[in-house]
Chain A
Amino acid sequence: MVGVKTLTIERGHFRMLYYCILLALLSPVIGALLASFIYSYRVIRNAIIFTGIITIASACGITWLVIDSGDMIKIYLDSMIFDYNWIVKFMTLAVIIYIFYYGVRWKRFLVYMLAAAQLIPLIIADIFLRYKSPLYTFSIDRLSAIMLLITTVLSYTILFVSSGYMKNYHHSFYKAKNGQAIVICLSMVQISAVSALVISNSLHAYYLLWQILTVTSFFMLFQKKNKSTHENAFRLLWMHLLSGLAFIFAHIIMYEVKGTSGVDDITQLYVTGSYNKVFVRALCLLCFAAIIRTAQFPFNSWLTAADNIPVHIPGILASSTCIPAGIYIILKFSPMLSNTIPGKVLSAIGAFTFTASALMAVLQNNMLKTIAYLSSSFTGFIICCTGFGNSTGFDIAILLTMFSSIIIALLYICLECIDNETASVNIKSLQGLIAKMPVVAAVMTSSLLLMFIPPFGMFLVGWLAFNSCMEAMPVIILVIPGVLLLLALWIKLIGISLKYPENDKAFKIKVPYYSVLALAFMLVVVMAASIMAIPLLNGFIRPFTDAFSIYDKGFDVSDNLNIWFNGSNMSLQGSISYIFVFLVIFIALIFVFESFKNIINGRKKEITKFNIQSDDLENNFPESDYKSKKYYTGQSSYIENRSIFDEGKLSVLFNIISTAIILVLFGVVYK
């Protein structure tokens, strides 16, 4: 028997909701099974397309039902043949035991110790505490709907491009013959896990899904034969196990204090405000778990140290599965830390990571690392905004989650296209991109322009943040250099990719049709997100964050400036200012037009389709530094002097400072 509790949902919609949830959770798993058993690129691509369409449609259906029904839908599963909660408990134990076994097998002390450290409290809690399961199994609110859409849409777009990614090249680098297929299969399992995480209502289920994400992320990296990638995979594993350890202790403390593991019951506490110091400790542990998962300093190396791997792996992890899962936990639980000292320290951790990662991103020559640091930086800003102590901070955080995921996914897709054709992820491979791959250059530069220039997207987020941060002024001062560094990265990317090569020997490379489709789709998503930002904020996000009932000074988006869209009716206020908006759109369109003119009338003397074989890299790409030492050093030629901006020294310095801030967080809580 399945039931649903909501105020306004119609009876006819209930069946639709049921099927939407079922399809959203199961269709990626079916796709994963297909991808793992049948080793054929055509089957894999078709599996991605069909399961992708079904999953995205289901996510859209759930979102529509959430809007239609008010703010939240709660669903309970009752009188089932088997006990759902026992399945969760059994699977959790199985996953941890498997990780423990893997740690012992590969003689990784940290891995098996951290697994054992989780196993013991888990068994004790399962046997002695005798959990009461929460009444509702699923709880879907607007935040869940947004995260569901982000995960499904972005991850399937990345997977769609990756289905034809360097099939001849990476083939010889995987351990198994079907290594690429296994990676896609694991990605689909991750999509299902994140979808389940954002709609489920039990902390125990969260923990299971958290560990599934850990294991799948590990095996995605572990597929490569490369030793350095193995090291990185184990680094990811121990860091994520540490986050799991914090999670399980937070879970046990919360259950002990409040007698429930239902997320809806816990998050209702910020309305009543009835939580004590021990509960705040548990909240901080949860946030610590999320800090690791969102690649904040000093736990960012699981993402940023990953080089020489297929681009879609960090693409999926950073834009749509691992990092959004961490952000979801932060956004779900941090409102309870609003206007508290731990909340402010958490905000400082985010602000520091934002600026430090932005600096590191500017210094990189390896685009994989650049985008990884960029992702870490955006996430830092999201965490920073949650500590502002007003609901506008959460508005900004949710809006930025969308924008950052979209822009990171887009950059990874562009890089995937470049890597696929030129076998290099060095920033030099972007040089002359407008001549080599005009479609990729056009989409990348148009999207960056649309996202960053006033009055769109990211600019709006920054403007709102500066306007609503009066209670967190020291933190915002920490953020200011980061904003400028991100802008420097913006001009670096645009400048390099739009610059025509110095000689005329550059050849035009044909980009495969699936990449062009994915890029066009992403451009539409970017345009929609950045232009519709204000209606989305007013109509969809505000009603959700208003329910937090935390202090808000009543800051209104259309208060100060008359160029903004006012309210959800999208009417333009003001007089002459809208001319500016259209001027900007006009200039952005000129870029697109110029690029497409280049595509149509461009140089056609050497149109070649390169499908790189591992042994003809040197012959086809004499200028590629894929195998040279420079590729691995990650040193930048952008800022010449190493005495100040040495990556290694800076990493050590940033790790020390961020560790100190995290220690302050725990010091404040356990005082």
Chain B
Amino acid sequence: MINNTHILAVVSVIFLCPAAGGILAGLNRKLHSYLQYRHGASIFQPFYDTIKLLGKNGSTSIPFQMQFILLNIVFIMFAAYLILMGQDLLLIIACVAFAEFSRIVAIMLAKSPFYQLNARKETINAIVYITLLLLAVVNIKLITGSYMTRSIYAASSPLIYDIPLTYLVIIFAILLKLGRAPFDYCAPGIRNRGSLERLNTGFSRTALALINISSWYETILLMFLASVFIAKPLWIGIFISLLIYFLFTLIDSLTPTSTWKWTVTFWWPVAGLVSIINVVWMCLGS
């Protein structure tokens, strides 16, 4: 049965999430411009760009690319819906993963060899950060006894008290996902670090517009995931997540990029170990 909560969640997923994500992207660009002594574009510029792209004729000339982009946006929207409904964290991560992998397949379908290289790099990045997210979710289950997001809100104390190291792991994962320096060896980001690093140049017109919208959803999802650790009250969690988001931008402007080898050999052992230490810690404590 459809009730008011469902309708509210659907409306939020369709309108609020992309709006918030777009504004965050605009603010991010603005901050970057200030750090580079430029005035920068309006914070609504991502919306203008996307609307312009949506107005162009045709979607993409590459066969099957549009289908995978549609898969990407469907999965990411569904993940947003699930998180708003307080549903299963495991399914949310799975949807994020499938959305990410659909995007990578869409990149792989482009004919240029640069995109093939980018797709490979992006695959490694996705494997690393989704592994970290899954480890964090498993830690959350150990604390709350359930994968449901609503059980986190129902917990007696914020998760950060019990699993602070896991919060760090989530932050690492978000850093990798958002492609901020020094973790952005394949950044689909805001700064042009050469043609090899601009994944989204594989897309054009409607396809690129949908990818932009999908990236806004991803940002909101990841911020929300970070904020559930400090979910009592939730607005503090959201505020801290936003602070961290803009801190990433600051670090991004100050540091160089890394290599994929470093990403794998450093982040898997370090963040994985941190996560496992947290599991052992909890097992010993209980």
Please determine whether A487 and B97 come into contact, CB atoms closer than 8 angstroms.
yes
Q: Which of A561, A575, A591, A598 contacts B6 (CB 8 A)?
A: A575
In chain A, what residue has the closest Cβ to B110? Answer: A499
CB distance from B132 to the nearest CB of A (A): 9
Please determine whether A560 and B148 come into contact, CB atoms closer than 8 angstroms.
yes
Please determine whether A495 and B91 come into contact, CB atoms closer than 8 angstroms.
no
Q: Is A583 an interface residue (CB 8 A)?
A: yes
Q: Is A90 an interface residue (CB 8 A)?
A: no
In chain A, what residue has the closest Cβ to B280? Answer: A474
Please determine whether B123 and A488 come into contact, CB atoms closer than 8 angstroms.
yes
Q: Which of A575-622 contact B (CB under 8 A)?
A: 575-576, 580, 583-584, 587, 590-591, 594, 598
Interface string of B130-145 (1 = CB under 8 A from A): 1100110010011000
Please determine whether A477 and B135 come into contact, CB atoms closer than 8 angstroms.
yes
Given contacts A480-B134, A485-B127, A641-B261, are A587 and B90 in contact (CB under 8 A)?
no
Cα-based distance from A583 to B265 in the complex (angstroms): 38
Given contacts A639-B120, A644-B265, are A473 and B279 in contact (CB under 8 A)?
yes
Please determine whether A434 and B135 come into contact, CB atoms closer than 8 angstroms.
no
Cα-based distance from A638 to B116 in the complex (angstroms): 10
* Interface-located stretch among B24-32, B101-109, B183-191, B209-217: B101-109
Q: Which of A462, A583, A644 has most chain B Cβ within 10 Å?
A: A583
Cα-based distance from A434 to B119 in the complex (angstroms): 19
Please determine whether B111 and A587 come into contact, CB atoms closer than 8 angstroms.
no
Please determine whether B147 and A484 come into contact, CB atoms closer than 8 angstroms.
no
By a CB distance below 8 angstroms, the chain B residues around A661 are none
CB distance from A594 to the nearest CB of B (A): 7
Please determine whether A498 and B109 come into contact, CB atoms closer than 8 angstroms.
yes
Q: Which of B70-110 contact A (CB under 8 A)?
A: 70-71, 74-75, 78, 81, 87-88, 90-91, 94-95, 97-98, 101, 104-105, 108-109
Please determine whether A587 and B138 come into contact, CB atoms closer than 8 angstroms.
no
CB distance from B157 to the nearest CB of A (A): 21
CB distance from B241 to the nearest CB of A (A): 24
Please determine whether A488 and B105 come into contact, CB atoms closer than 8 angstroms.
no
Q: Is A317 an interface residue (CB 8 A)?
A: no
Please determine whether A561 and B88 come into contact, CB atoms closer than 8 angstroms.
yes
Please determine whether B64 and A454 come into contact, CB atoms closer than 8 angstroms.
no
Q: Is B63 an interface residue (CB 8 A)?
A: yes
Q: Which of A473, A500, A575, A587 contacts B74 (CB 8 A)?
A: A587
Cα-based distance from A499 to B119 in the complex (angstroms): 13
Q: Is B124 an interface residue (CB 8 A)?
A: yes
CB distance from B217 to the nearest CB of A (A): 15
Please determine whether B108 and A495 come into contact, CB atoms closer than 8 angstroms.
yes
Please determine whether B104 and A583 come into contact, CB atoms closer than 8 angstroms.
no
Cα-based distance from A463 to B283 in the complex (angstroms): 23
Cα-based distance from A485 to B126 in the complex (angstroms): 10
By a CB distance below 8 angstroms, the chain B residues around A576 are 2, 6, 10, 81
Cα-based distance from A641 to B131 in the complex (angstroms): 21
By a CB distance below 8 angstroms, the chain A residues around B130 are 484
Please determine whether A459 and B94 come into contact, CB atoms closer than 8 angstroms.
yes
Interface string of A22-46 (1 = CB under 8 A from B): 0000000000000000000000000
By a CB distance below 8 angstroms, the chain A residues around B276 are 477
Given contacts A463-B90, A484-B130, A499-B109, are A587 and B67 in contact (CB under 8 A)?
yes
Interface bin, chain B: 35 or more
Cα-based distance from A651 to B214 in the complex (angstroms): 39
Cα-based distance from A576 to B74 in the complex (angstroms): 13
Cα-based distance from A576 to B5 in the complex (angstroms): 11
Q: Is A531 an interface residue (CB 8 A)?
A: no
Q: Is B23 an interface residue (CB 8 A)?
A: no
Cα-based distance from A145 to B120 in the complex (angstroms): 42
Please determine whether A500 and B111 come into contact, CB atoms closer than 8 angstroms.
yes
Cα-based distance from A462 to B93 in the complex (angstroms): 12
Cα-based distance from A568 to B78 in the complex (angstroms): 26
Q: Which of A474, A499, A638 contacts B120 (CB 8 A)?
A: A638
CB distance from B85 to the nearest CB of A (A): 9
By a CB distance below 8 angstroms, the chain A residues around B1 are 575
Please determine whether B127 and A481 come into contact, CB atoms closer than 8 angstroms.
yes
Please determine whether B105 and A495 come into contact, CB atoms closer than 8 angstroms.
yes
Q: Is A467 an interface residue (CB 8 A)?
A: yes
Q: Is B244 an interface residue (CB 8 A)?
A: no
Q: Is B54 an interface residue (CB 8 A)?
A: no
Please determine whether A594 and B63 come into contact, CB atoms closer than 8 angstroms.
yes
Cα-based distance from A627 to B82 in the complex (angstroms): 52
Please determine whether B104 and A495 come into contact, CB atoms closer than 8 angstroms.
yes
By a CB distance below 8 angstroms, the chain A residues around B108 are 491, 495-496, 499
Cα-based distance from A477 to B274 in the complex (angstroms): 13
Q: Which of B6, B95, B264 contacts A454 (CB 8 A)?
A: B95
Cα-based distance from A459 to B91 in the complex (angstroms): 9
Cα-based distance from A476 to B138 in the complex (angstroms): 9
By a CB distance below 8 angstroms, the chain A residues around B6 are 575-576
By a CB distance below 8 angstroms, the chain A residues around B126 are 484, 488
By a CB distance below 8 angstroms, the chain B residues around A502 are 111
By a CB distance below 8 angstroms, the chain A residues around B74 are 580, 583-584, 587
Cα-based distance from A193 to B61 in the complex (angstroms): 53
In chain B, what residue has the closest Cβ to A435? Answer: B63
By a CB distance below 8 angstroms, the chain A residues around B2 are 575-576
CB distance from A593 to the nearest CB of B (A): 10
Q: Which of B78, B88, B111, B135 contacts A560 (CB 8 A)?
A: B88
Please determine whether B124 and A639 come into contact, CB atoms closer than 8 angstroms.
yes
Q: Which of A453, A467, A491, A560 contacts B104 (CB 8 A)?
A: A491
Q: Is A466 an interface residue (CB 8 A)?
A: yes
Please determine whether B63 and A500 come into contact, CB atoms closer than 8 angstroms.
yes
In chain A, what residue has the closest Cβ to B66? Answer: A590
Please determine whether B109 and A561 come into contact, CB atoms closer than 8 angstroms.
no
Q: Which of B75, B124, B138, B146 contacts A473 (CB 8 A)?
A: B138
Q: Which of A454, A462, A499 has most chain B Cβ within 10 Å?
A: A499
In chain B, what residue has the closest Cβ to A462? Answer: B94
CB distance from B212 to the nearest CB of A (A): 20
By a CB distance below 8 angstroms, the chain B residues around A654 are none
Q: Which of A488, A496, A498, A590 contacts B127 (CB 8 A)?
A: A488
Please determine whether B94 and A454 come into contact, CB atoms closer than 8 angstroms.
yes
By a CB distance below 8 angstroms, the chain B residues around A466 are 90, 138, 147
By a CB distance below 8 angstroms, the chain A residues around B268 are 481
By a CB distance below 8 angstroms, the chain B residues around A639 are 120, 124
Q: Is A483 an interface residue (CB 8 A)?
A: yes
Please determine whether B111 and A590 come into contact, CB atoms closer than 8 angstroms.
no
In chain A, what residue has the closest Cβ to B123? Answer: A488
Cα-based distance from A498 to B111 in the complex (angstroms): 11
By a CB distance below 8 angstroms, the chain A residues around B62 are 500
Cα-based distance from A502 to B3 in the complex (angstroms): 51
By a CB distance below 8 angstroms, the chain A residues around B111 are 499-500, 502
Cα-based distance from A487 to B98 in the complex (angstroms): 8
Please determine whether A498 and B134 come into contact, CB atoms closer than 8 angstroms.
no
CB distance from B15 to the nearest CB of A (A): 16
Cα-based distance from A502 to B62 in the complex (angstroms): 11
Please determine whether A477 and B279 come into contact, CB atoms closer than 8 angstroms.
yes
Given contacts A560-B147, A561-B91, A580-B74, are A591 and B105 in contact (CB under 8 A)?
no
11 contacts between A and B (CB under 8 A): A434-B64, A454-B98, A474-B279, A480-B135, A488-B127, A490-B101, A496-B108, A560-B146, A575-B6, A576-B2, A587-B70
Closest 6 CB pairs of A and B: A495-B108, A484-B127, A575-B2, A495-B105, A480-B134, A491-B101
Known: A500-B111, A576-B81. 14 other contacts (CB 8 A): A454-B91, A459-B94, A462-B94, A473-B279, A477-B138, A477-B276, A488-B126, A491-B101, A491-B108, A495-B104, A498-B109, A580-B74, A591-B64, A641-B261
Residues of B within 8 A of A (CB): 1-3, 6, 10, 62-64, 67, 70-71, 74-75, 78, 81, 87-88, 90-91, 94-95, 97-98, 101, 104-105, 108-109, 111, 119-120, 123-124, 126-127, 130-131, 134-135, 138, 141-142, 146-148, 261, 264-265, 268, 276, 279, 283
Residues of A within 8 A of B (CB): 434, 453-454, 459, 462-463, 466-467, 470, 473-474, 476-477, 480-481, 483-485, 487-488, 490-492, 494-496, 498-500, 502, 560-561, 575-576, 580, 583-584, 587, 590-591, 594, 598, 638-639, 641, 644
